[in-house]
Amino acid sequence: MYDPSTNFPVVNRYVDGVLVSVDTLQQPQSVWNYKSDDVGDHTLILECGNTQVTIIMTITELGIDVSPVTGGLEIDFNPSGITNNSANRIWSNDYYHMAVSNNFDWANGGYKFDENGDDYFLIKAGTFITFDYEMFSGGIERNPSVHGAEMKIVFMIENV
């Protein structure tokens, strides 16, 4: 995307008419690595100022079940579709939030994708993230040793 009025264009990303990300681009090139397991046609829109680019994607069934665990899932931190420049780069859901250390390295860490195009969250040496989810609290009704609990966090660490 190019905006002649700024060196840092703001790009809105939509999936099927729903705004999923607002990014302020700080480099001349950016990648939107979109993946979905929702079978069917999907409309992706990139919007910068008065300009829109529409991409139609058709997701087809693989014939195998690759569905993630959802029973008892309290935290599902999936970095797919989020970038370091996204307005919502600090993850949260309706109940829990992520926090990053004051020295978190957003320039070299954070939201990345590997050689296969899979998204992950990179935590560089000397930095950390926390979630305000306390797995072993909440009394007997939420005790994971009795009822179980699930967390899914897609991340990578380097230089530890």
In a domain, 68, yes or no: no
For 130-157, write each residue's pLDDT tens digit: 988 876 665 445 555 665 666 677 776 6
For 58-97, write each residue's pLDDT tens digit: 988 877 776 666 676 778 888 887 888 888 899 888 888 9
Domain residue limits at 123:
73-158
In a domain, 104, yes or no: yes
Same domain, yes or no: 151 and 86: yes
Q: Dihedral (C-alpha) 129, 133, 134, 139: value to the nearest 10 degrees?
A: 180
Q: Do residues 83 and 89 touch, judged by C-beta distance below 8 A?
A: yes
